[in-house]
Chain A
């Protein structure tokens, strides 16, 4: 590969991480004004953050909402992947089209339409609606992740199990599921991460529940503060840990399969 194309890849990598880098730098900068040149290193913003109950409460709320979203989107994604990899699924094209709907229709349109219906039938907005809405929108992502792994599984293992007299359920539990463990973890993590990063759906569906993104959004419109930077960096660090863990798990399966 040529030096020019290596340089271009590095350049685009820089573009992708530039804003994130700036965020991290300012969270350690010893001035309340976010402008260059930098004024020195400090941990003050992190100390202040640890005393900010509204932000911490918001983070806990977001985290608690993200758990059921991760579990539900992984479980539904698994069902979708099982159906998509079935050889005798005649309505596959229609099912794929249905799965693409929540990805292609703008999230805000989906959320507004959903709220119109639920408020007509007298169902309150809140955590339950937010969890259902996020699960719906993230389902295409988890379904793709799980399907991508399932199509590569060796079908002969399943056939062997069936030939040896295992019931469909036993085959699934003892042969298919163990091979999907890390893909399921990856799907769950992606669900959690997408949930933590969501703002659009929260704006419409959260009601009186206040996830972190909503609290930060109202601050965003008024004033930028290094304390918010510090909060974002903490969220970022947690996300990065989850991404690395998922990646390691995913690699784990690849290696196991090659061997």
Chain B
């Protein structure tokens, strides 16, 4: 054999598919963003009006800010709720770990719409929660704020993304060397001290990965706010959608989509960097894990 066959060649068709399907369309957005629209027709041009609009019209900034806020809320919410779940799962006997993983991941396979639909049955004025509160006499009138509000959007964003966060943290809890925890205990640390000085610092890479993914997924979600957010449901994504579809203003739609994407990636990277800058994360990533 002249040259040893390498499996890395298989990356080529996949890379071509990804470039044509995902990277190219994103690059083309740049091109469309400087075109002009006349009589429902897109004319090749170099016009920066749409970009100027982005920086002068406060609506766009506010919508992008809103998307980032809901992404942050989802990332923080899932981290707080999910962290104890991940630690608890790591302590389960091996047989139960598989079961817990299946229980955790199955809701992800339930249709996007089915989940939203089911939450309407839980949160609606005659839904489960209101009936429950009424029957124990806590409220007289059904709480309308439960559904079609920023509250319901945040709740469902946390619900939708919790499995991703738990999975990311769980993997890094499993990687923590048990002997480090035992050493801390032997040296007289109480369980809570061992947790804060060993487990938490060493699991920050998982926390960072989880926050990164959940933030991006939640900030870019189109359906949840539009179907459950009520009047507060106008989002940057919905605006891109209407500019693109009904208004046929592709240049502005492209600009807004790109701006959202930039803001999203920038914030996600900063978020991950902050979490990773801790001492424990550096130790974990430099091989202190094994």
Q: By the criterion CB–CB under 8 Å, are B121 and A22 in contact?
A: yes
Q: By the criterion CB–CB under 8 Å, are A20 and B107 in contact?
A: yes
Does A164 have its Cβ within 8 Å of any Cβ on chain B? Answer: no
Does A200 have its Cβ within 8 Å of any Cβ on chain B? Answer: yes
Given A1-B92, A8-B88, A216-B113, 19 further pairs, Cβ under 8 A: A5-B84, A5-B88, A12-B81, A16-B159, A20-B110, A22-B118, A23-B121, A86-B6, A98-B19, A106-B237, A110-B21, A110-B26, A112-B240, A112-B253, A113-B257, A114-B25, A132-B21, A193-B109, A197-B112
Instruction: In the A-B complex, list the 3 residue pairs whose CB atoms are closest, starting with the nearest.
Output: A106-B220, A35-B126, A19-B118
Does A37 have its Cβ within 8 Å of any Cβ on chain B? Answer: yes
Q: By the criterion CB–CB under 8 Å, are A109 and B23 in contact?
A: no
Which one of A19, A22, A91, A193 has the highest number of Cβ atoms from chain B below 10 Å of its Cβ? A19
Q: By the criterion CB–CB under 8 Å, are A36 and B6 in contact?
A: no
Sample of 26 A–B contacts (CB below 8 Å): A5-B87, A6-B88, A9-B89, A12-B162, A13-B103, A19-B118, A19-B159, A34-B121, A34-B127, A76-B13, A83-B9, A90-B8, A98-B18, A102-B18, A103-B213, A105-B220, A106-B222, A112-B253, A113-B25, A120-B42, A139-B17, A139-B18, A168-B5, A199-B113, A213-B111, A220-B113
Q: Which residues of B contact A256 (CB under 8 A)?
A: none
* Complex interface residues of chain B between 11 and 57 (CB less than 8 A to chain A): 11, 13-15, 17-19, 21-26, 28-29, 32, 42
Q: Which residues of B contact A92 (CB under 8 A)?
A: 8
Does A179 have its Cβ within 8 Å of any Cβ on chain B? Answer: no
Does A33 have its Cβ within 8 Å of any Cβ on chain B? Answer: yes
Q: By the criterion CB–CB under 8 Å, are B11 and A8 in contact?
A: no
Q: Whole-angstrom distance between the alpha carbons of A160 and B223 in the complex? A: 52
Does A108 have its Cβ within 8 Å of any Cβ on chain B? Answer: yes
Q: B-facing mask of A66-106, CB < 8 A → 1, else 0?
A: 00000000001001101111101111100100110111111
Does A209 have its Cβ within 8 Å of any Cβ on chain B? Answer: no
Which one of B25, B124, B132 has the highest number of Cβ atoms from chain A below 10 Å of its Cβ? B25
Q: Whole-angstrom distance between the alpha carbons of A37 and B126 in the complex? A: 9
Q: B-facing mask of A132-170, CB < 8 A → 1, else 0?
A: 110010010001000000000000000000000000100
Q: By the criterion CB–CB under 8 Å, are B91 and A5 in contact?
A: yes
Q: Whole-angstrom distance between the alpha carbons of A91 and B9 in the complex? A: 11
Does A173 have its Cβ within 8 Å of any Cβ on chain B? Answer: no
Q: Whole-angstrom distance between the alpha carbons of A190 and B13 in the complex? A: 21
Q: Which residues of B contact A61 (CB under 8 A)?
A: none
Q: Whole-angstrom distance between the alpha carbons of A72 and B119 in the complex? A: 33
Q: By the criterion CB–CB under 8 Å, are B114 and A89 in contact?
A: no
* Complex interface residues of chain B between 72 and 114 (CB less than 8 A to chain A): 81, 84-85, 87-89, 91-92, 98, 100, 102-107, 109-114
Q: Which residues of B contact A95 (CB under 8 A)?
A: 11, 14-15
Q: Which residues of A contact B13 (CB under 8 A)?
A: 76, 79
Q: By the criterion CB–CB under 8 Å, are A199 and B223 in contact?
A: yes
Q: By the criterion CB–CB under 8 Å, are A235 and B85 in contact?
A: no
Question: Could you say which interface size class chain B belongs to?
Answer: 35 or more
Q: Look across to chain B and name the residue whose beta carbon is closest to the beta carbon of A24.
A: B118
A1-B92, A36-B131, A88-B8 in contact; A76/B29 too (CB < 8 A)? no
| CB of A31, distance to nearest CB on chain B (Å) | 11
Q: Which residues of B contact A103 (CB under 8 A)?
A: 213, 216
B residues in contact (CB < 8 Å) with A: 5-11, 13-15, 17-19, 21-26, 28-29, 32, 42, 81, 84-85, 87-89, 91-92, 98, 100, 102-107, 109-122, 124, 126-128, 131-132, 135, 159, 162-163, 213, 216, 219-223, 227, 237, 240-241, 244, 250, 253-254, 257, 260-261, 264-265, 268
Q: Which residues of A contact B102 (CB under 8 A)?
A: 243, 247
Does A183 have its Cβ within 8 Å of any Cβ on chain B? Answer: no
Q: Whole-angstrom distance between the alpha carbons of A35 and B132 in the complex? A: 11
| CB of B182, distance to nearest CB on chain A (Å) | 16
Q: By the criterion CB–CB under 8 Å, are B119 and A19 in contact?
A: yes
Does A64 have its Cβ within 8 Å of any Cβ on chain B? Answer: no
Q: By the criterion CB–CB under 8 Å, are B109 and A243 in contact?
A: yes
Within 8 Å by CB of B29, from A1, A116, A198, lies A116
Q: Whole-angstrom distance between the alpha carbons of A86 and B9 in the complex? A: 9
Q: By the criterion CB–CB under 8 Å, are A101 and B23 in contact?
A: yes
A76-B13, A200-B223 in contact; A85/B7 too (CB < 8 A)? yes
A106-B222, A108-B222, A108-B240 in contact; A35/B84 too (CB < 8 A)? no
Q: Which residues of A contact B237 (CB under 8 A)?
A: 106, 108-109
Q: By the criterion CB–CB under 8 Å, are B114 and A197 in contact?
A: yes
Q: By the criterion CB–CB under 8 Å, are B131 and A37 in contact?
A: yes
Q: Look across to chain A and name the residue whose beta carbon is closest to the beta carbon of B18.
A: A98
Does A185 have its Cβ within 8 Å of any Cβ on chain B? Answer: no
A22-B128, A220-B113 in contact; A109/B7 too (CB < 8 A)? no
Q: By the criterion CB–CB under 8 Å, are A109 and B107 in contact?
A: no
Q: Which residues of A contact B268 (CB under 8 A)?
A: 104
Q: By the criterion CB–CB under 8 Å, are B122 and A33 in contact?
A: no
Q: Look across to chain B and name the residue whose beta carbon is closest to the beta carbon of A216.
A: B113
Q: Look across to chain B and name the residue whose beta carbon is closest to the beta carbon of A132.
A: B21
Q: B-facing mask of A104-130, CB < 8 A → 1, else 0?
A: 111111101111110010000000000
